[in-house]
Structure 1
Amino acid sequence: MPKPKAQLPWFGLMASLALFLLPEACIAGRRNKDCGFTLCGDVNISSPFRLTSQPRRCGDHRYELECDNNNRTTLVVKHGRFYVQNISYENSTIRVVDASLGKNDCSLPRSSFIFGDPCKLPYSVSYPGSSIMYLVNCTTPMKSSPYVDASRCPSRSSHPPTFFYFLDGETKMYDFNQFCTVEARVPVGLKNINDMSTLDIYGKLLLGFELSWYYYDCSYKISLQDVLYLLRYALKIYVDSFTHFLFNGSRVAYTTNLEEKRTYILCLEGTGGAILLRTFLGICCLIALVTYKWRKRHLCGDDTIEEFLQKQIALMPIRYSYREIKKMTRNFRDKLGEGGYGSVFKGKLRSGHLAAIKLLGKSKANGQDFINEVATIGRIHHVNVAKLIGFCVEGSKQALVYDFMPNGSLDKIIFAEENKTMLSWQKMFDIALGVARGIEYLHQGCNMQILHFDIKPHNILLDENFVPKVSDFGLAKLYSVDDSIVSLTAARGTIGYIAPELVYKSIGGISYKADVYSFGMLLMEMVGRRKNLNAFAEHLSQIYFPSWIYGRFHQGEDIELGDVTDGEKIIVTKMIITAFWCIQVTPSDRPSMSKVLQMLETDVELLQMPPKPFQLPFEISTEDHVVDNRSEDPTSSLLSSNEIKLA
């Protein structure tokens, strides 16, 4: 009896691994009992299809259909219902139409057909001319070209307002407008819906679409015993082949019907090939490691940013490529402004939404300013905090994409020599309230305490309705909400708004009170509609505005505000007194942002004038700043009786 032929061991190993990795084998030709045919309306139902009313042994339950009270054959899937128009057993096709769709009414195609595991839903699109489109529900009208109106009837008022549109199935995720949600993934007999009218699309939908079905056997699963047997057989083949080479020389046994085979060479090549492959992979890994270390030394800033983005990927806004950024800005054509951080350009998203793209300059802090911006503003959703739509980071190229603010920043309103936009005192007060609410949210509204460290008019953006948005989080830091005092290695902020404890450590610990101080200086500039420090003032006493206006208040003198109403005088008074409390030199003397909001919203008669906090910027007056009882919270007595007159 001839000896068995030595085999190449890799074939046995690969086959066994493939069978081991497959959880189940789907093989055509599943056998189910054929119970003959039945009718539902004019549709012939026979194997593999079955009706829910038939005995369980009939047909395949994956091809189950329903016959409703109107004698209409219905295919029910997880996300919708479809009426069966025809079944072709010769071509293995079934034509269906959305059951929620009527011919001459205002109905919408709300049924989705989601293709997936053929062992659960054994259908596929039967011809290449079909595709999937989206039905989206928007709270605002969409004017851009990708959105095709899905309503066949005149718009009817609803609350909240809803607008339905079709979007092609190839639409990218970042082109979906933030005000729209997907209602259904609708099959349609079109390759795409671009340049199609609403009626043409509905015409195709009412014709339905064809599906093909396949026979899959998903019942057989490999047992552990089968796997062990295959592995043992593969190992035996390998050992026999290698042993034959060691003890029988260069020639191997052969069968009586086949010529001599030298399969031991194949066995030797397989073993040697594995060793060479491991050696080659080791060399490649070594080269990759050396390259990585070299790049890390030269591009440590980029690695820091990428590591941060990988950790925060679940919380991130949309990530754009640099090519997309250039396309949005039309190759950086419309420049809005420039600063130490870089430049800002006006852009337009594919949805038609206007955006402001901040192209960051070369970072001096190892990419930390970019990380600060994305880590803070990327996770914040508040009406008074600027919204970060997306970002871009490709090597040294970094950009941030924000909502476009048509009214620019607050400094252009209060500092412009020829102020074209003169806002009323009520509007200025509303802006101050909005900024205070935004800062208070940063301090207390998140699971982390966010300190901005750069509150100033330049970083307050105004939308079309002059609603303020706190922006530019390049200097921001995140701390635990339990931290009353935080650590900071270096002073940060802008001269004129920076809290004194950030410069002079002996004044007090660094905390959220640093933002309170900056807000107070901002309030002062809103009242004076000028820089707090102006070396070109008419009188020497007016150089430092907070000191001058405090002197007028302290001496009971009137402040000329022009033609203002009594209500506007009250508004200005509240803003001034609140600002004086915010810019107290000692941090413990300043109120929290919650108390600042309470002061701005309370009656002016209940506000108490604070002690004079300064003589010149950052100078502490021992004469005017006296606290009798340090154990008492000085901000607890902010609400008291005090009358101040404005002319």
Structure 2
Amino acid sequence: MQIELLLLVGAAILLSLLQLCNSSGTCSENFKCGDDAYSYPFWGNNRPSYCGISGFELNCRDSQTQIEIRNSNGFGQTYIVRNIDEANQIMTIVRSDVWNLGTECPSAFLNDTAVGDYSPFEYVSGTLNHTLFYGCPFNASYNSGWYYCNDAKNISNLYITADSVGSNKNTSECQGSILIPVRPSSVREWGSSFDIISNGFDVKYVGSYHSDCVNCTNFGGGCGNDIYNDYSNDYSFDDFYCYPAEKTRNLRRIIALVIGPISGFILVIILACVCWRRKYSSVNSIVFWKKSKNYEKVEEFLRNNGSMAPKRYTYSDITRMTDSFKDKLGQGGFGGVFKGKLLDGRLVAVKVMRESKGDGADFMNEVASISRTSHVNVVSLLGFCFDRSKRALIYEFMSNGSLEKFIYKDKPLETSSSLPWEKLYEIVVGVSRGLEYLHRGCNTRIVHFDIKPHNILLNENFCPKISDFGLAKLCSTQDSYVSMLDARGTAGYIAPEVFSRNIGVVSHKSDVYSFGMMVLEIVGGRKNINGLADRTSEIFFPHWIHTRIELKEDLGLHGITSETDAEITKKMILVGLWCIQINPFDRPSMSKVVDMLEGSLESLQIPPKAILSSSLGSQHDSSSM
């Protein structure tokens, strides 16, 4: 252990010295080409790659700034950079194949890649398209908006629309046409179509780094990316790093003089340690990063699960998969969820965790838990990313989102969702089957501990799937209780025994309680706690609806149009009330819940009123504990 620590310290010192020597002040230098000078996120020539972002590399050819923009298929096109407005993050570019259209014709036209999949740019609002016809069987003069190429090797007889196509010209006889983006201001200012095209068009790039970069440069620093924060060179805006300004020339001279001897000394120590380790240890090789706890946990998980383990992705894969996190689906305490696409075309939901410095136990717990499942009512985990501090989960995409947006509304006892009662009943039955599977269908029992509408996802057919296993616990199917050191779950759905062990032991029955609270919220179309209710008896919905059931009063639920609706709503109410019994032993198992939901209404008895629920229900904060 001491040898490993010495090696790590030596490597860290060496890397720090190299970084100090090589990068201090480097990112303060702009990319230069002729009269052009551009900074972060652009890089190229004298500006190293870690001073910018992948996709923003500039080149200087014949004193002309150029950029190559690639699409999802890896095909790239070169663009001439007319100007970059760094303050507004707008770049004016021209397609290289039409750059000199007024003096020469291209041998072929290229596909436009400025905006599209994996491109970091988007058109500025108001961008127009100019149409270019080519291969036309007639001649015209330049002044009329035409240009004729006499070189048979090139595309001849070009025509670019200005205000309209001449009535004496039939463009349908031309070989084809292409659309070229142009600036609206160019159309207003220039009469010649060639001038309009050569003036280029505007694209915008967006990044959260902007204010950080301004603050960095104000203090004399250089904007770049943390070259030690990622395994690859596919840097993103999230890796922004402010390199300190170059202090003095003398400092760099001193560093240059001492870095050689110090580096050599450190390398000698490292080599000596390696030789000693090889001689006296059965371990034949030393790999520094394999000693991290995070790495060991991932490798242990992959070994234990073998072919059953989901696919592992790098953070660069996640960035490309989500098109640089372009389409955000939702936000939670864990981080954000983004829409993505796999290489085979499948849509996915990518859950990106907040950056954490922990050992990743909770994260790998979720991966391990859901990897053991395969059920129509449990969301499928397709992959994960554990790239140092970068962590993400890749789930199957659920087009209808989460359940809560279909059940809550503003007015009490009136459902605002477009889902009929029969569909809501099917959703409840589906969730009960999913929970039954987690409790009994797996080789290892999984207790979810966070069943709530937000964690029930719906696919295109409104088939429910249980998601978010971050708080789940694994235990043997023979165990009657779960060992826990802390309370976990979301207030309003947590079973009483989870935070008060005097009530009973924590077990799979804790999920039954959360399920019951969720079912009653589906029926009531509201949170179980209503602090704005006019009457005290209506504050806690489970008590209010229990009283109505006992007195055989009208339930006052909106949208009940048939006997079937009335039967399934009453069945869901009775099952929900049984599930929220205070004593865990009084609650049915999920297998029994499924039987109760699919059985006859006449076989269900009215359960005792859950006395403590009213006081426990006052915890209606939706945040997780």
Q: TM-score, normalised by structure 1?
A: 0.50
Match for residue 547 of structure 1? 543
Verify: 1:511 aligned to 2:507, yes or no. yes
SS where residue 502 of structure 2 aligns?
helix
Shift of 1:527: 0.2
Q: Distance in 1 between matches of 2:549 and 2:347?
A: 45
Task: Report if the CA contact (8 A) 2:329-2:338 is conserved.
Answer: yes
Pick the aligned partner of 1:351 from 315, 340, 344: 344
Match for residue 432 of structure 1? 428
Residue correspondence of structure 1 range 42-81 to structure 2 within 5 A? none
Match for residue 467 of structure 1? 463
Match for residue 565 of structure 2? 568
Q: Distance in 1 between matches of 2:612 and 2:313?
A: 50
Alignment length, in residue pairs? 346
Verify: 1:535 aligned to 2:498, yes or no. no
Cα gap change, 1:462 to 1:619, in 2 (>3 Å): closer
Task: Report if the CA contact (8 A) 1:319-1:390 is conserved.
Answer: yes
Task: Report if the CA contact (8 A) 2:274-2:286 is conserved.
Answer: no
Verify: 1:373 aligned to 2:369, yes or no. no
Match for residue 449 of structure 2? 453
Match for residue 603 of structure 1? 600
Residue correspondence of structure 1 range 217-228 to structure 2 within 5 A? none
Q: Deviations over 1:335-369 (max 9, x none)?
A: 11111111100001111111000001134763122
Verify: 1:384 aligned to 2:377, yes or no. yes
Pick the aligned partner of 2:305 from 297, 303, 312: 312
Q: Distance in 1 between matches of 2:345 and 2:603?
A: 49
Q: Distance in 1 between matches of 2:524 and 2:612?
A: 18
Residue correspondence of structure 1 range 282-301 to structure 2 within 5 A? 282-283=275-276, 300-301=293-294
Letter in 1 for 2:601: V
Q: Distance in 2 between matches of 1:361 and 1:303?
A: 21
SS where residue 401 of structure 1 aligns?
strand
Match for residue 327 of structure 1? 320
Q: Distance in 2 between matches of 1:446 and 1:325?
A: 30
Letter in 2 for 1:499: A
SS where residue 532 of structure 1 aligns?
coil
Task: Report if the CA contact (8 A) 1:500-1:618 is conserved.
Answer: no
Q: Distance in 1 between matches of 2:322 and 2:551?
A: 55
Pick the aligned partner of 2:400 from 395, 399, 407: 407
Letter in 1 for 2:478: D
Pick the aligned partner of 2:521 from 498, 510, 525: 525
Q: Distance in 2 between matches of 1:292 and 1:417?
A: 62
Cα gap change, 1:326 to 1:583, in 2 (>3 Å): same
Shift of 1:292: 8.1
SS where residue 614 of structure 2 aligns?
coil
Cα gap change, 1:372 to 1:589, in 2 (>3 Å): same
Q: Deviations over 1:112-139 (max 9, x none)?
A: xxxxxxxxxxxxxxxxxxxxxxxxxxxx
Q: Distance in 2 between matches of 1:453 and 1:558?
A: 34
Higher Cα Rg: structure 1 or 2? 1
Q: Distance in 2 between matches of 1:570 and 1:365?
A: 50
Shift of 1:572: 0.4
SS where residue 348 of structure 2 aligns?
strand
Match for residue 172 of structure 2? none
Task: Report if the CA contact (8 A) 2:596-2:604 is conserved.
Answer: yes
Letter in 2 for 1:471: S
Q: Deviations over 1:527-564 (max 9, x none)?
A: 00100112112322211111111122222221112342
SS where residue 343 of structure 1 aligns?
strand
Q: Deviations over 1:253-293 (max 9, x none)?
A: xxxxxxxxxxxxxxxxxxxxxxxx9967424769999x989
Cα gap change, 1:599 to 1:286, in 2 (>3 Å): farther
Q: Distance in 2 between matches of 1:592 and 1:301?
A: 37
Residue correspondence of structure 1 range 456-495 to structure 2 within 5 A? 456-495=452-491
Q: Deviations over 1:562-593 (max 9, x none)?
A: 34211100000000000011000000000000
Q: Distance in 2 between matches of 1:383 and 1:545?
A: 31
Letter in 2 for 1:432: V
Unmatched tracts of structure 2, length 5 or more: 1-71, 75-269, 618-625
Q: Distance in 1 between matches of 2:280 and 2:529?
A: 59
Q: Deviations over 1:499-527 (max 9, x none)?
A: 10001101111111000000000100000
Shift of 1:311: 3.2
Q: TM-score, normalised by structure 2?
A: 0.52
Match for residue 341 of structure 1? 334
Task: Report if the CA contact (8 A) 2:327-2:338 is conserved.
Answer: yes
Q: Deviations over 1:64-111 (max 9, x none)?
A: xxxxxxxxxxxxxxxxxxxxxxxxxxxxxxxxxxxxxxxxxxxxxxxx
Task: Report if the CA contact (8 A) 1:363-1:369 is conserved.
Answer: no
Shift of 1:596: 0.3
Pick the aligned partner of 1:593 from 582, 590, 593: 590
Cα gap change, 1:531 to 1:329, in 2 (>3 Å): same
Cα gap change, 1:362 to 1:279, in 2 (>3 Å): closer
Q: Distance in 2 between matches of 1:591 and 1:616?
A: 17
Cα gap change, 1:614 to 1:581, in 2 (>3 Å): same
Unmatched tracts of structure 1, length 5 or more: 1-143, 147-276, 621-647
Match for residue 389 of structure 2? 396
> Percent sequence identity over matched residues?
50
Match for residue 240 of structure 1? none
Shift of 1:614: 2.0
Residue correspondence of structure 1 range 105-144 to structure 2 within 5 A? none
